[in-house]
């Protein structure tokens, strides 16, 4: 059965189940019928939906879960039990996970896990509506006792039903729905070390198969896995894998979303959606999963604050950064999705929220005709655990560039909460936002809004033009207290290309003198988040000199607006080479990379499986399709 037919079969099974068993979570308020259908098609079937373990499979909508854990056995010291498995951990006694393929719909997944000298591979696949898994031990610690594989079963998120052990299998029950869970292992006596759930446990000396629906032997499971295992590699497959592992189900809002990484989501209580990060996730998902792309874009907008803007973050428990936003990349993302999939309802669903956000910037972040960064401490509710609210650091967070040298000496008015520095990057993105919204308004026949946006775009494009420094040959931030340019260069200085605010002559000069200058932004690994000539470059600390996928991607999109093929192709090639370096070696997709060595593993402040790192590969994917 091909993947599309299999997905249709799974969704049909979910529909039938919905008729037999009322969906345990009511549809979220405000969803259009079209978007409700998108979420229902996503939140269906077996997949790695649980934030807390990549070795757990969950069946939606019932929330039945099958969890694979490992017990390390020692004759001399106490046993240790690994109930959940996460990608990206670094501690001495923590698991080291190498992620393998993960298809969009979860029809095939694969990981390799090393922990305390033991190692195993875990694969999963779909057989119609059933799940099959195969756990295979790999080289263990010489002379040590073999580990114990533990397979547990339960129901998550207070959904109705449960799991119970019978004579020869474990059975899930919810209403009239029952699902049997079987394994091929040989059970050992019950140990005090293990889950407080119905489970199987046995010595892990050879491959152990797991299946739902009916008993299946290891050979049959291997046949199913071989059929479903992806046969091709390349950039598109890498993006699919990255997004597959970083997509999860949020039961609090009954939605499928793609937060930045599982470690970030676990640390923030179950999920965290950052503004521009999740819009970028939508662009990544558009390479292969239209529904997931829509969900990531729409859910980011649905986190809108009472003040009418998309927050810097929205996390589990309902907390949001009501004092600050993040870079406005929503309209260019939604327009891009429309140009790919051509569904007007997507624009109708999102236009009003995008328009409120666009107006908010003009009303709340305008100073002397420029846009500046800020933090509104008077906005409610206030997160009492966020010390940055109302401070210069809070305003820096709104840039998305938390510790960028661009703002080291920025003046800040504590009374207004405004950074008094005209920001080239923010204004470039905002004019691009206005332009994209103009085009969306035309498609939707909203002539009044089109005129409003066109006028606002022209006004800020005119202000942005005054940030061109003829002597330096590039756009620069400006200190609005002194009127002096801030002579520090970052990739944000090229964002006027995205807004089409630079003349062709200016664009050519910026690229020739700065972007492709190895002493500033070019080199083996490109492009650093501050110029190589800047004193802060040597820090290689987060936004102080490291390379970031979103910066490269936004500069690439800007280059596509001009006749700058050499720079555009070169940036795509260099970005793809950087992405492939650790992806091919270690299966890592990093939050950021060292601009001298190309490594993401040289610091602990670069998450090893952060989805926007795949933007470095997306440019090559897009370039190949031009």
pLDDT in tens, 95-125: 999 999 999 999 999 999 999 999 999 999 9
Cα separation, 105 vs 108, whole angstroms: 8
pLDDT in tens, 191-236: 766 788 899 999 999 999 999 999 999 999 999 999 999 998 999 9
**Quick check: 365 pLDDT over 90?**
yes
Q: Where are the chain's structural domains?
A: 3-228, 244-249+327-623
- pTM of structure: 0.95
Model confidence band, residue 382 (pLDDT cutoffs 50, 70, 90): confident
| Predicted local confidence at residue 140, as pLDDT | 65
Model confidence band, residue 452 (pLDDT cutoffs 50, 70, 90): very high
**Alpha helix locations (H) across 92-211?**
none
Measured over the CA atoms of residue 16, residue 20, residue 25 and residue 29, the dihedral's sign is positive
| Predicted local confidence at residue 444, as pLDDT | 98
Q: Under DSSP, is residue 370 helix (H, G, I), strand (E, B) or coil?
A: strand
Cα separation, 249 vs 270, whole angstroms: 9
Q: CA-based diameter of the chain, in Å?
A: 82
**Quick check: 550 pLDDT over 50?**
yes
Report residue 614 CA to chain centroid gap. Answer: 9
Report residue 89 CA to chain centroid gap. Answer: 17
Please report how the helices 275-285 and 290-301 are oriented relative to each other, as an axis angle in degrees rounded to 10. 160
Q: Which of 247, 337, 263, 212 is nearest to 90 (CA)?
A: 263
114 strand-pairing partners: 96, 119
What is the overall mean pLDDT for the chain? 94
| Predicted local confidence at residue 19, as pLDDT | 38
**Quick check: 13 pLDDT over 60?**
no
Report residue 276 CA to chain centroid gap. Answer: 10
Q: How far is CA 214 from CA 180, 183, 224, 363, 461, in A?
A: 7, 10, 14, 61, 64
Mean per-residue pLDDT, 165-182: 94
Which CATH code, of 3.40.50.720, 1.50.10.10, 3.30.1490.20, 1.10.3720.10, is assigned to 244-249+327-623? 1.50.10.10
Cα separation, 123 vs 107, whole angstroms: 10
Q: Under DSSP, is residue 182 helix (H, G, I), strand (E, B) or coil?
A: strand
3-state secondary structure 46-77: EECCCCCCCCEEEEECCCEEEEEEEEECCCCC
Cα separation, 322 vs 310, whole angstroms: 9
Asked if residues 422 and 467 have their Cβ atoms less than 8 Å apart, the reply is yes
| Predicted local confidence at residue 626, as pLDDT | 86
Which numeric CATH code is attached to 3-228? 2.70.98.110
Residue 454 CB-density burial (10 A; 0-12 exposed, 13-18 middle, 19+ buried): middle
Cα separation, 271 vs 277, whole angstroms: 13
Model confidence band, residue 167 (pLDDT cutoffs 50, 70, 90): confident
């Amino acid at each position: 059965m091909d993947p599309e037919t299999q997905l249709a079969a799974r969704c049909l099974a979910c529909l039938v189940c919905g008729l037999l068993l009322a969906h345990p979570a009511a549809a979220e308020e405000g969803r259009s019928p079209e978007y409700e259908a998108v979420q229902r098609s996503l939140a269906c079937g077996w997949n790695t939906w649980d934030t807390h373990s990549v070795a757990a499979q969950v069946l939606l909508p019932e929330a039945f879960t099958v969890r694979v854990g490992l017990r390390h056995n020692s004759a001399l010291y106490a046993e240790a039990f690994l109930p959940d498995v996460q990608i990206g951990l670094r501690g001495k006694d923590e698991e080291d996970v190498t992620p393998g393929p993960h298809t969009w719909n979860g029809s095939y997944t694969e990981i390799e896990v090393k922990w305390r000298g033991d190692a195993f591979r875990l694969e999963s696949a779909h057989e119609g509506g059933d799940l099959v898994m195969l756990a295979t031990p790999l080289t263990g610690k010489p002379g040590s006792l073999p580990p114990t594989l533990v397979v547990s079963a339960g129901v998550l998120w207070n959904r109705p039903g449960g799991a119970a052990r019978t004579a020869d299998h474990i059975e899930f029950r919810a209403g009239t729905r029952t699902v049997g869970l079987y394994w091929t292992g040989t059970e050992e006596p019950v140990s005090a070390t293990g889950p407080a759930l119905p489970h199987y446990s046995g010595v892990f000396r050879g491959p152990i198969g797991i299946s739902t629906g009916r008993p299946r032997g290891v050979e049959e499971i291997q046949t199913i896995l071989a059929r479903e295992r992806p046969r091709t590699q390349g950039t598109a497959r890498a993006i699919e894998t990255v997004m597959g592992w970083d997509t999860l189900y949020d039961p609090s809002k009954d939605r499928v979303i793609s937060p930045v990484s599982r470690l970030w989501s676990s640390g923030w209580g179950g999920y965290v959606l950052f503004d521009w990060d999740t819009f970028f996730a939508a662009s990544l998902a558009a390479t292969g999963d239209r529904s997931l792309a829509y969900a990531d874009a729409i859910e980011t907008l649905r986190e809108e604050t009472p003040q009418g803007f998309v927050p810097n973050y929205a996390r589990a428990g309902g907390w949001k950064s009501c004092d600050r936003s993040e870079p406005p990349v929503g309209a260019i993302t939604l327009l891009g999705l429309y140009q790919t999939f051509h569904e007007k309802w997507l624009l109708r669903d999102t236009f009003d929220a995008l328009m409120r956000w666009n107006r908010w910037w003009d009303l709340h972040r305008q100073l002397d005709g420029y846009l500046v960064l800020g933090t509104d401490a008077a906005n409610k509710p206030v997160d009492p655990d966020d010390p940055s609210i109302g401070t210069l650091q809070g305003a820096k967070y709104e840039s998305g560039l938390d510790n960028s040298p661009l703002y080291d000496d920025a003046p800040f008015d504590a009374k207004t909460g405004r950074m008094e520095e005209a920001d080239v990057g923010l204004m470039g993105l905002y004019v691009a936002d206005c332009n994209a919204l103009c085009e969306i308004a035309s498609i939707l026949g909203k002539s009044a809004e089109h005129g409003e946006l066109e006028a606002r775009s022209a006004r800020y494009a005119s202000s942005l033009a005054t940030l061109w420094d003829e002597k330096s040959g590039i756009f620069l931030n400006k200190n609005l207290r002194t009127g002096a340019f801030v002579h520090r260069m970052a990739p944000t200085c090229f964002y006027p290309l995205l807004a089409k605010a630079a003349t062709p002559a200016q664009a050519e000069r910026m690229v020739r003198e700065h972007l492709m200058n190895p002493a500033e932004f070019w080199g083996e690994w490109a492009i650093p988040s501050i110029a190589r000539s800047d004193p802060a470059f040597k820090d290689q600390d987060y936004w102080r000199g490291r390379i970031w996928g979103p910066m490269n991607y936004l500069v690439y999109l800007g280059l596509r607006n001009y006749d700058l093929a050499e720079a555009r192709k070169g940036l795509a090639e260099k970005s793809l080479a950087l992405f492939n370096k650790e992806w091919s070696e270690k299966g890592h997709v990093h939050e950021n990379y060292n601009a001298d060595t190309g490594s993401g593993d040289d610091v602990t402040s670069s998450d090893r499986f952060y989805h926007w790192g795949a933007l470095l590969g997306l440019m090559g994917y897009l370039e190949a399709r031009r």
